[in-house]
Structure 1
Amino acid sequence: MAIEHPPRKRARLRHSMFFALSLLACMTNAQAAGPSEVASADRATWPHALNSPAAFDRASRAEILAFGHELALSEAVDDAALAQRLKLKQIDRASVDKIRARFWQRLSANYRLASRACAPRETFCQPAADTAALRALALAFNAAPDNAYAAWRGDAARFHRIYLDEQLRLAALFPRTSSEIDTYSADEVDGSELPDRQFLLTFDDGPSAAGGNTDKLLRVLREHRLDATFFVLGQSLQQQVAANPKLSTAQRYAGMCVASHGWEHQSHSRWPQWQDSVLRSAALIKAQAGPLYAPLFRPPYGQRLADSGGFFREHGQRVVLWGIDSQDWNAKMTPTDMQGRLLSLMLLWRHGTILFHDIHDKARIALPWVLQHTRGAGVHWVDCKDYPARG
């Protein structure tokens, strides 16, 4: 016999079921983009220090050719084989082709930048005047130029093959599953528009409890005279304010920029309350952080609605994505793994927004190593207060 529920109870049950299904959809959507393997590089295989702009450029050219080689090889893989390789049931071919084309454009521009000051017979410096020429050069780059680079070439082949699959997986799912792999409009920024050798530090998911990872990381940043944008969760900030009423958010983040990561860490592409999440978190952060508040929103998992641009413009918010994922949130990655990954991707892309998470301890360990190994290389760390550029 069916159980009859009064109307109010039936309404509550429908709401509970709807919320559960929505949450499940968000979780499925959020987890869909996760790769089964993540790339880490062994920078000890590179035979030179990166202690000058010329040294940075040489290593940059090498990484561009190594990644370009894997990218060119992937273009010969048909859709069925690519779906199997990426462990997906289907792929969005148009999205994959669009991202590949964008990669080639960026690689070509970066290779020209890295080749401007080549000395005669400089390593990894064959001319490539355009994208087609670079593609041909990269496709032929299947061995180290001499024994000094043999260990690096073997490690780079593995690293870039896995890293490319990370990116192609995101592209194959887009736009069905949105992510940082592409922007929906010029209103959204991901760091690819930054000048050469300029990088922005960003940290998501905080704040942690007082005295925890967030505060430890803040000390490291200040020791190195760096700043960063912290994309905080409204719910976490509210909890920390309640637990530590005498701890000023503005004082805690002094010298930094504080922006929104939403109220809760849920996908904002399918969560019915996503607009409330954006507005509530922004209002709380502005009230607590004062002049440190930046009217920016970073969607959890990079997931947002394709037609949400009007909402963000109306409320004076701007979506900020990223181009270099440290993978510090991934249990498979150690701080050492992160170090090699970060440096290789900085050499490959030459500029961009770096994603970290201050609730984890890995960035505090890995970042000083990256700073040490790029000292003298001409790398510039962008002031968070200057990004995105106003006007």
Structure 2
Amino acid sequence: MRLGVSIQQILDANPNINPLNLIPGTNISIPLVDYSDGTKKIYNILGSTTVLSQQQTDNITRWRYNIIKLANDNPDSIIINGPILEKQVCLTFDDGADLVITPKVLDLLNKYNVKASFFFTGHNVDKYKDVAIRANQEGHSLLSHSYYHPNFAKEGLDYIKREILMTEDRFSQVIGKRPAIIRPPFGSIDDRVLSAFRETNNKAVIWSIDSMDWAQNISKDNIIRNVLNNVRPGDIVLMHSYSTLNLILEALPIIILGLKNKGYKLVDIGELLNIPIYK
């Protein structure tokens, strides 16, 4: 990012440019945007690795372009990052709960006195109730990641709404709260998915930094670099807390201490965004 302008904004100002085939020396226009109030800026999504195939990398690039465009068009419904004027960051963990990684993540968060946000599936909340109850009691925010982790963009409106409401019901039964925030599996949103979120009174929270801890064969150092080398005020960091991702347990202490050393306060989604996260 240069001059406070995201890649998305540059692409929007240059509709004839193919972001997957930029040629050195191409003349482009850079728009002037006023973000002085710190509330309007949508970050470009950062995080990379060389362990992915070219096709996977292209798919991620395309998804990032599309989701930021959708967020720009629907700023009240899709959130990529928080306000940019305060040095606050939110660590988020998807796909729990489980009996292996999530409890150890909770141990580390307690050790370093950090509050985070967990996007749990309804199925796992039902299966691992004690872990969900613990996370809630320790002051972390527990938010919806669907019930069975489907790709919403491949499902019908009624199915999506049923998934959302099933998840809310399970959260309510286990922790006594109904989430008003959802992170769709795979970050997959289109107009139909967005309609389902609106009809169930949910906002979508995506992420502005992908640690890429999910990538097969990624190194601990790559995960750490993706966060510490890219961090900006208001970033929402994507990580995961399920049983096959031991590397996050090695990376997390270094990430937490690195962010604190850079002067960042680590907060949950509710504090970062200053919006109600439960109904």
TM-score under structure 2 length normalisation: 0.72
| 1:331 match | 216
Equivalent position amino acid for 1:288 in 2: V
Asked if 2 retains the 8 angstrom alpha-carbon contact of 1:324 and 1:354, the reply is yes
| SS of equivalent residue, structure 1 residue 259 | strand
Asked if 2 retains the 8 angstrom alpha-carbon contact of 1:259 and 1:282, the reply is no
Where does 1:139-150 land on structure 2 (aligned, <5 Å)?
A: none
Deviations, residues 307-329 of structure 1 (Å, cap 9, x unaligned) = 44454344332211111111110
| 1:218 match | 106
Pair 1:382 & 2:267 matched = yes
Question: C-alpha displacement at 1:194, in angstroms?
Answer: 4.6
Aligned pair partner of 1:351 in 220, 234, 245:
234
Aligned counterparts of 1:214 and 1:203: Cα–Cα separation in 2: 9
Where does 1:312-323 land on structure 2 (aligned, <5 Å)?
A: 312-323=197-208
| 1:276 match | 162
Deviations, residues 37-95 of structure 1 (Å, cap 9, x unaligned) = xxxxxxxxxxxxxxxxxxxxxxxxxx858x999x98xx99x756x5457xxxxxxxxxx
Asked if 2 retains the 8 angstrom alpha-carbon contact of 1:170 and 1:181, the reply is no
Aligned counterparts of 1:387 and 1:320: Cα–Cα separation in 2: 12
Deviations, residues 211-256 of structure 1 (Å, cap 9, x unaligned) = x001111100111111111111112222334xxxxx3632344211
Question: C-alpha displacement at 1:285, in angstroms?
Answer: 1.2
Q: How many correspondences in the alignment?
A: 246
Pair 1:204 & 2:88 matched = no
Equivalent position amino acid for 1:275 in 2: K
| 1:290 match | 176
Question: C-alpha displacement at 1:388, in angstroms?
Answer: 3.3
| SS of equivalent residue, structure 1 residue 231 | strand
Q: Look at both structures and tell me which one has the larger radius of gyration over its CA atoms.
A: 1
**Residues 68 and 314 of structure 1, relative CA distance in 2, 3 Å threshold:** closer
Query: What 5-or-longer segments of structure 2 have no aligned partner?
Result: 23-27, 37-49
**Residues 229 and 180 of structure 1, relative CA distance in 2, 3 Å threshold:** farther
| 1:170 match | 63
**Residues 311 and 358 of structure 1, relative CA distance in 2, 3 Å threshold:** same
Aligned counterparts of 2:69 and 2:6: Cα–Cα separation in 1: 18
Aligned counterparts of 2:116 and 2:225: Cα–Cα separation in 1: 21
**Residues 248 and 332 of structure 1, relative CA distance in 2, 3 Å threshold:** closer
| SS of equivalent residue, structure 2 residue 229 | helix
Asked if 1 retains the 8 angstrom alpha-carbon contact of 2:20 and 2:58, the reply is no
Asked if 2 retains the 8 angstrom alpha-carbon contact of 1:322 and 1:352, the reply is yes
| SS of equivalent residue, structure 1 residue 322 | coil
Aligned counterparts of 2:61 and 2:267: Cα–Cα separation in 1: 28
Asked if 2 retains the 8 angstrom alpha-carbon contact of 1:180 and 1:321, the reply is no
Equivalent position amino acid for 2:77 in 1: D
| 1:250 match | 133
| SS of equivalent residue, structure 1 residue 202 | strand
Aligned pair partner of 1:267 in 144, 151, 160:
151
**Residues 310 and 168 of structure 1, relative CA distance in 2, 3 Å threshold:** closer
| SS of equivalent residue, structure 1 residue 319 | strand
Equivalent position amino acid for 1:203 in 2: F
**Residues 373 and 388 of structure 1, relative CA distance in 2, 3 Å threshold:** closer
Aligned counterparts of 2:81 and 2:133: Cα–Cα separation in 1: 26
TM-score under structure 1 length normalisation: 0.53
Equivalent position amino acid for 1:337 in 2: N
Asked if 2 retains the 8 angstrom alpha-carbon contact of 1:250 and 1:290, the reply is no
Asked if 1 retains the 8 angstrom alpha-carbon contact of 2:224 and 2:254, the reply is yes
Query: What 5-or-longer segments of structure 1 have no aligned partner?
Result: 1-62, 86-96, 110-157, 242-246
| SS of equivalent residue, structure 2 residue 85 | coil
| Percent of aligned pairs with the same amino acid | 20
Aligned counterparts of 1:284 and 1:356: Cα–Cα separation in 2: 23
Asked if 2 retains the 8 angstrom alpha-carbon contact of 1:198 and 1:382, the reply is yes
Asked if 1 retains the 8 angstrom alpha-carbon contact of 2:220 and 2:251, the reply is yes
Aligned pair partner of 2:123 in 235, 246, 258:
235
**Residues 303 and 343 of structure 1, relative CA distance in 2, 3 Å threshold:** same
Question: C-alpha displacement at 1:259, in angstroms?
Answer: 1.0
| 2:40 match | none
Aligned pair partner of 2:191 in 306, 313, 317:
306
Higher helix residue share: 1
Root-mean-square deviation (Å): 3.9
